[in-house]
Chain A
Amino acid sequence: MTKGWKKLGVSVLAGAMALTLVGCGKSNSSSSSDKKVKITIFQGKVESNKQFKQIAATYHKLHPNVTISVSSVGGGTDYSPVLKTRISSGNAPTIFSLAGPADVKQFASQEADLSNTKAAKAAQPGTLDAVKSNGKTVGLPFNVEGYGFVYNKTIFKKAGINPTSLTTMSKLTAAVKKIDSQKSKLGIKGVFALPGKETWILSDHLANLYVGQEFGGNAQKMYKSKSMKFTANKEMKSMIDLQKKYSVGPVMQLDYSAQVNQNFSQGKVAMIQQGDWIYPTVEQIDKKFAQNDVGMIPIPVKGYENKMPVGTSLYWGVNKNKSQAEQTAAKNFLDWLYTSKQGKKLVVNKLHFVPAYKGYTGMKMPDALTQVVFKYSQQHKTIGWAFPAYTGTSWDPNTFQPNLQKYLSGKQNWDTTVKNSIKGWNEQQASN
């Protein structure tokens, strides 16, 4: 008797559980009647979340059949776990973002071929290198970003230095010494602010100029390489040494916000190694300062004089496991955003994106830093971004960054740093 009851109880319970599970699975189904399409965007540039939502609303007004919902999760390491969760739980987005070759490989089973989109055809040469998979283009760049030395125009003028003339290491060094000698007159605490706490300032951005050379600035090429020579390491050393020697200190206590908010934006240093993405932060702190005093010059690298490292940190991917109608709608939306007249205006004026696509000549970027990046990008005076090849791998956080930090804090000499870094890279690549 008891046994019978037990059996009944268990089967009722199992049935209830099965129902719940079925309920979960079904929630994602959509009606495919009368061509109404609903697409979802899940992207990693959280600071542009509001703007993307407004653009989605605009698009819906023009194309009433297409409804787009946008959600965003920010930060380099937060996005991809959430995307994975959404894919495994059957709630995968139609459009998602990819951060480079490592992501392209990870999400290969989701990526639709975008080679035939208008946007892919309009993409500037080199911008699609990192998102080629078996000869197909699987990603479309959000935008391009650039970095260099962001400098304070007023301080440079007072010190009598023309920033655009600093195209070689020796000219830069001379200028830095000149500024340093008039520190008290100029009212600054140091020439640079080098944030030793932020590992990526050196390992990603600065190293790109010296490590990326041997791979032609091509992230995909570096990602697939079996070894690395790091021949330009001496030049990198002198650039780190220069920034460290003339930085406000102690460098190991400085982080991003100390560099940008507390030192540069308050006029306490003459220049910092940063990119166009800091503009909104500077503007928030001091609007007038941002409008009048901020400029950017390339970091001088031998053989690449007056060239700016310009590249893409995020790409759009379209989910090939969605219905054909959804995929087409997604591709049409991206084409509209980057190649239509209306879309281009939104890209430049609403998103403040420096375009990674052709056909934007004559347009004007809204702020001083993006204007510089746009100028270099239009004139093709650029160096590619190779560092996305390693930001998603264990070599960066486990080998390269700790070794650079050890050198920066004086715990290890440069030769060991270089040797460990090369050894770590070769080992990692050999096991892939």
Chain B
Amino acid sequence: MKNRSLSFWLFLTPTLVALALVVFIPAIMGIFYSFTNWDGLGYTEMLGFKNYITLFHNSGFLAALWFTVKFVIVTVILLNVIGLGLALLVTQKFKGSNLLRTVFFMPNLIGGLILGFIWQFIFTEAFDALGKAFHMAWLTGWLTDGKTGFWGLVIVTVWQMSGYIMIIYIAYLQNIPSEVIEAAEMDGASPWQRFVHITFPMIAPAFTVCMFLTLSNGFKIYDQNLSLTNGGPYKSTEMLAMNIVNTAYSENNFALAEAKALIFFLIVAAISLLQVYYNRKREVDL
């Protein structure tokens, strides 16, 4: 190998060292700690797979996992449908489309924590007032049970992130050569046919990117969860990331939290990679 020279290694070293120090070494230590009774300071005994057994039996992990999976399914669908819809809307040629792009993207500029607090106010005060004024009982008592907590989280996430997804779709939509569409138009394809048979396949790479982003974001979400519901009431809206943080920091069970984090990582990695692999297959080249 010609390029494995001194300079090759010299240029690579800083990155390798940094990566090793902040990713590989902590990860390996974490895996090791998950087999002990580590409490953040030290460990006194090796537990073998005990933490992993506890994790699947009695620790709220499965409930959090199920809640997170439901959340991910709903948000991935909604985000991509709404994101693509908004992108199609603002790529039409009409006055104010640029303004609309800015407006749709705006929520993404607000931090998740603040957003959670703002929406908490909207859900508990504004929804309540509207519900009372128009006698719609379903608008009152939001965030007081698991169901409204779930939909509250979905609404906030979709509201925040669909603008970002929209931007990605816009970029790919604008890359579609107009000749192809014009040719189809000449051949008598209806707008729907043009969308399904030309636009849709042409933006397949955008799907790969957006699916990946929404999937991994949905699994890893923490700040909105913290500020909107804090996992409550009665732990019914606790997502995976929050469950792990709570296990470590409020129950002082660092080793169990390590085990959970490892399983969490494996799940997210497996799903994301599978998704990218299958979506890549669908992409078309001109």
Contact of A9 with B6 at beta-carbon distance under 8 Å, contacts A253-B144, A397-B250 already known = yes
Complex contacts, A32 vs chain B, CB 8 Å: none
CB distance from A50 to the nearest CB of B (A): 26
CB-CB under 8 A for A398 and B251, given A81-B40, A84-B40, A106-B39: yes
Q: Which residues of B have CB within 8 Å of A253?
A: 124, 128, 141-144
Question: Quick check: which of A308-316, A350-358, A402-410 contacts chain B, the rest being far away?
Answer: A402-410
Interface of B is mostly: loop
| B234 in contact with A84 (CB, 8 Å) | no
Is B5 located at the chain interface by the 8 A CB criterion?
A: yes
> Could you say which residues of chain A place their CB within 8 Å of the CB of B5?
2
Instruction: Please report which residues of chain A, range 75-123, place their CB below 8 angstroms from some CB of chain B when the two chains form the complex.
Output: 76-78, 80-81, 84, 87-88, 102, 106-107, 109
Interface 9-mer from B9-17, B84-92, B155-163:
B9-17
Contacts A6-B6, A84-B40; A405 near B251 (Cβ below 8 A) = no
Residues in A with CB closer than 8 Å to B60 are 398
Question: Do A397 and B251 form a contact, CB below 8 Å, given A2-B6, A84-B41?
Answer: yes
A392 contacts B by Cβ under 8 Å = yes
Distance (Å) between the CB of B10 and the closest chain A CB? 7
Q: Closest approach, in angstroms, between the C-beta of B122 and any C-beta of chain A? A: 13
Question: Are A197 and B251 in touch, CB under 8 angstroms?
Answer: no
Please report the C-alpha to C-alpha distance between residue A253 and residue B253 in the assembled complex, in whole angstroms: 30
A19 in the interface (beta carbon within 8 A): no
The 8 Å CB contact of B252, one of A2, A13, A392, is A392
Most buried by A among B42, B60, B235, B249: B235
Verify B250–A77 contact, CB threshold 8 A.
yes
**Which residues of chain B come closer than 8 Å to A392, judged between CB atoms?**
251-252
A402 and B252 contact, Cβ closer than 8 Å, known pairs A2-B5, A13-B13: no
**Which residues of chain B have C-beta atoms less than 8 A from A107's C-beta?**
41
Measured CB to CB, the closest approach of chain B to A136, in angstroms, equals: 20
Give the number of residues in A that approach B within 8 Å (Cβ atoms): 36
Nearest residue, chain A, Cβ from B246: A397
Residue of B nearest to A17 (CB): B17
Q: Which residues of A contact B40 (CB under 8 A)?
A: 80-81, 84, 88
CB neighbours of A199 from chain B (8 A): 232
- B9–A88 touching, CB < 8 Å: no
Counting chain B CB atoms within 10 Å of each CB, the highest count among A78, A394, A411 belongs to A394
With A17-B17, A84-B40, A88-B41 known as contacts, the answer to whether A409 contacts B251 (CB < 8 A) is no
Chain A proximity mask over B241-282: 1 for CB below 8 Å, otherwise 0: 000001111111100000000000000000000000000000
> Which of B144, B247, B248, B249 makes the CB contact (< 8 A) with A409?
B144
Residue of A nearest to B4 (CB): A2
Number of A-B contacts (CB under 8 A): 86
Q: Is B26 an interface residue (CB 8 A)?
A: no
A78, B39: Cα distance in complex, Å: 15
Cα A5 to Cα B8 in complex, Å, equals: 12
Residues on B with beta carbons closer than 8 Å to the beta carbon of A402: 234-235
With A6-B9, A398-B251 already in contact, the answer to whether A250 and B232 are too (CB < 8 A) is: no
* Distance from A362 Cβ to chain B, minimum over Cβ atoms (Å): 41
Q: How many angstroms between the C-alpha atoms of A253 and B131 in the bound complex?
A: 15
A103 and B175 alpha carbons, distance in the complex (Å): 60
Residues of chain B contacted by A77 (CB below 8 angstroms): 249-250
One digit per residue, 1 when the CB lies within 8 angstroms of any chain B CB and 0 when it does not, for chain A 8-32 equals 0100010001000000000000000
Q: Which residues of A contact B4 (CB under 8 A)?
A: 2
Beta-carbon nearest neighbor of B54 in chain A: A431
Q: Which residues of A contact B17 (CB under 8 A)?
A: 13, 17
Chain B min CB distance to A395 (Å):
9
Cβ contact within 8 Å between B144 and A250: yes
Q: A174 within 8 Å of B by Cβ?
A: no
- In the complex the two chains form, is B6's CB within 8 Å of A409's CB? no
Please give, as numbers and ranges, the residues of chain A lying within 8 Å of B223 by CB-CB distance.
none
Which A residues are CB-close (under 8 A) to B249? Answer: 77-78, 80-81
Once A77-B249, A409-B144 are accepted as A-B contacts, the answer to whether A398 and B41 lie under 8 Å apart by CB is no
Tell me whether B233 is interfacial, beta carbon within 8 Å.
yes
Q: Is B234 within 8 A of A409, CB to CB?
A: yes
Across-interface contacts of A2 in B (CB, < 8 A): 4-6
Give Cα distance in the complex from A376 to B103, angstroms. Answer: 59
B234 with A406: CB separation less than 8 A: yes
Q: Which residues of A contact B251 (CB under 8 A)?
A: 392-394, 397-398
- Within the assembled complex, what's the spacing in Å between the Cα atoms of A353 and B149? 39
CB-CB < 8 A to A102: which residues of B? 252
Residues of B with C-beta under 8 A to A5 = 6
- If A252-B141, A252-B144, A406-B234 touch, does A80 touch B124 (CB 8 Å cutoff)? no
Which residue of chain B lies nearest to A404 when distances are taken between CB atoms in the complex?
A: B234
A392 to B251, CA, bound (A): 6
Q: Answer whether residue A148 sits at the interface, using C-beta atoms and an 8 A cutoff.
A: no
Q: How far is the CB of A143 from chain B (nearest CB, A)?
A: 24
A2-B6, A250-B144, A392-B252 known; 4 other A-B pairs, CB under 8 Å?
A80-B249, A106-B39, A196-B233, A253-B142
- Can you name 14 A-B pairs with beta carbons within 8 Å? A2-B6, A76-B250, A78-B249, A81-B249, A84-B41, A106-B41, A197-B232, A250-B141, A252-B145, A392-B251, A397-B250, A401-B235, A406-B233, A409-B145
List A residues at the B interface (Cβ < 8 Å): 2, 5-6, 9, 13, 17, 76-78, 80-81, 84, 87-88, 102, 106-107, 109, 196-197, 199, 250, 252-253, 392-394, 397-398, 401-403, 405-406, 409, 411
Identify the 10 closest CB pairs spanning chains A and B, nearest first: A252-B144, A402-B234, A394-B251, A405-B234, A84-B40, A77-B250, A402-B235, A406-B234, A405-B233, A5-B6
